Amino acid sequence: MSTHNKAEPTDRARPATIRDVAAAAGVATSTVSRALSNPGRVNHLTRARVVEAAEALDYVPSSQARGLSSGRTHAVALLVPDITNPFYFDIIRGTQHQLKAAGYTQLLVDTEESAEMELDALRSMQRAADGVILAASRLTDEQLNAAAAIQPLVTFNRASAEAPTVVIDTPSATIQAMEHLASLGHRTVCYVSGPQNSWSDSMRWKAFQEDSQQRGLQTHRIGPYAPKTTSGAAAADAALRTGSTACIVFNDLLAIGMLQRFAARGVQVPKDISIVGCDDIFGADFCHPPLTTIASPTEQAGRVAVTMLLSQLNPALAAGTRRVAVMPTHLRVRESTGSVPQV
């Protein structure tokens, strides 16, 4: 109104900028900026005028420009090894929720179980995101630490020296499962392992091994298998060949695949063999038989990861933030486990 615009005021194709708002409200752009993102620095009457003008013009600040000048993108990247793995659904939802609540945008990236893609994504997120949540990383410790040195990072299900991390308490879960199986009379147990470079898998195997030794159980290990239902057939056959009466399986996906194979071969679960999965994914309760599995609050884990990351970004919130969050687990007994078969 009082200032000099150069272009015609009503060019209704291009979204309104801060300048348009400033002109409409009769103030400087700096005032608009402050009114909108730093209230208190501006007289509340002026602020009201600005807000009104912004609304009238349907003004949406450009996150790009904001990011450029402020140095922060208000975006957080979530890297998962496989978007279609139901295990990550709850994580995705958990992070999404918490992120949105904090005014952040989520950048979802599927790294396809590949360390290389992970590195790539990390690289490009260096500028595109304020921080990264790295789920089930396939990276080496070295790579991980290097990444953590460059940008704010939180790992999930992957402990690292440098980065804060949230882990599902797999070892104690495995022990719970062993306890359960032992109490059912099983003496020969098989561990069906997942991806080779999975940290979770190695943790789980370690716990399995130690615990079975303590209990004096005979053990087998088969794998590695890709964590998909389609790998279940091979795993089922191999498990049978070991002569084990029970299996602890890397995750539910694989376990469900095994269940399907057993059904096809006429092997009865749990009469002939008991199966324990891990993750309690969608479907574990309605597969056949319903799967005994290790459950944990995954969605909450996602939220915690975000909280840890955000506190890294904003030191003001950083008070008493842990570097490691351990999510509790518990065994959810359904119908895929039963007494040891009578020989």
Q: Are strands 246-249 and 274-278 parallel, antiparallel or unpaired?
A: parallel
Q: Is 333 in the site for DNA (CB under 7 A)?
A: no
Residue 66 has a CB neighbour count (10 Å cut-off) of: 16
Q: Are 301 and 273 in contact (CB under 8 A)?
A: no
Q: Residue 109, SS3?
A: strand
Among the listed ranges 13-21, 94-102, 114-122, 332-340, the one in contact with DNA (CB under 7 A) is 13-21
Answer with the entry of DNA, a copy of itself, none that 30 interacts with (C-beta below 5 to 8 A by kind): DNA
Give the position of tokens 């069906």: 192
Q: How far is the CB of 217 from DNA (least distance, A)?
A: 57
Q: Is 65 in the site for DNA (CB under 7 A)?
A: yes
Q: Are 140 and 202 in contact (CB under 8 A)?
A: no
Q: Is 27 in the site for DNA (CB under 7 A)?
A: yes
Q: Which is nearer to DNA, 19 or 271 (CB)?
A: 19
Q: Is 28 in the site for DNA (CB under 7 A)?
A: yes
Distance CA 279, CA 85 (A): 11
As beta bridge partners, residue 192 has 222, 249
Q: Which is nearer to DNA, 62 or 196 (CB)?
A: 62
Q: Residue 248, SS3?
A: strand
Q: Is 59 in the site for DNA (CB under 7 A)?
A: yes
Q: How far is the CB of 311 from a copy of itself (least distance, A)?
A: 20
Q: Is 314 in the site for DNA (CB under 7 A)?
A: no
Among the listed ranges 28-36, 79-87, 210-218, 275-283, the one in contact with DNA (CB under 7 A) is 28-36
Among the listed ranges 31-39, 133-141, 182-190, 194-202, the one in contact with DNA (CB under 7 A) is 31-39
Q: Which residues are at the interface with a copy of itself (CB under 8 A)?
A: 15, 60-65, 67-68, 73, 83-84, 86, 89-90, 92-93, 96-97, 105-110, 123-124, 126-128, 229, 256, 259-260, 282-283, 285-288
Q: How far is the CB of 130 from a copy of itself (least distance, A)?
A: 11
DSSP class of 229: G
Q: Is 41 in the site for DNA (CB under 7 A)?
A: yes
- Which value, to the nearest 10 degrees, does the dihedral of the CA atoms of residues 227, 176, 220, 260 take? -40
Answer with the entry of DNA, a copy of itself, none that 229 interacts with (C-beta below 5 to 8 A by kind): a copy of itself
Distance CA 304, CA 231 (A): 32
Q: Are 109 and 92 in contact (CB under 8 A)?
A: no
Q: Is the dihedral of CA 242, 248, 253, 258 positive or negative?
A: positive
- Which value, to the nearest 10 degrees, does the dihedral of the CA atoms of residues 42, 45, 48, 53 take? -90
Q: Is 42 in the site for DNA (CB under 7 A)?
A: yes
Q: Is 105 in the site for DNA (CB under 7 A)?
A: no
Q: Which is nearer to DNA, 38 or 342 (CB)?
A: 38
State how far the alpha carbon of 231 is from the alpha carbons of 227, 249, 261, in Å. 7, 12, 10
DSSP secondary structure letters along 73-90: --EEEEEES-TT-HHHHH
Give the position of tokens 């893609």: 117
Q: Which is nearer to a copy of itself, 219 or 296 (CB)?
A: 296
Answer with the entry of DNA, a copy of itself, none that 294 interacts with (C-beta below 5 to 8 A by kind): none
Q: Is 46 in the site for DNA (CB under 7 A)?
A: yes
Q: Which is nearer to a copy of itself, 109 or 178 (CB)?
A: 109
Which amino acid belongs to residue 217? Answer: L
Q: Which is nearer to a copy of itself, 113 or 211 (CB)?
A: 113
Intra-chain end-to-end CA distance of the chain, in Å: 93
Q: How far is the CB of 150 from a copy of itself (least distance, A)?
A: 8
Q: How far is the CB of 12 from DNA (least distance, A)?
A: 14
Q: Residue 247, SS3?
A: strand
Q: Give contact residues for DNA (rule: CB under 7 A).
A: 14, 17-19, 26-31, 33-34, 36-38, 41-43, 45-47, 59-62, 65-66, 68-71
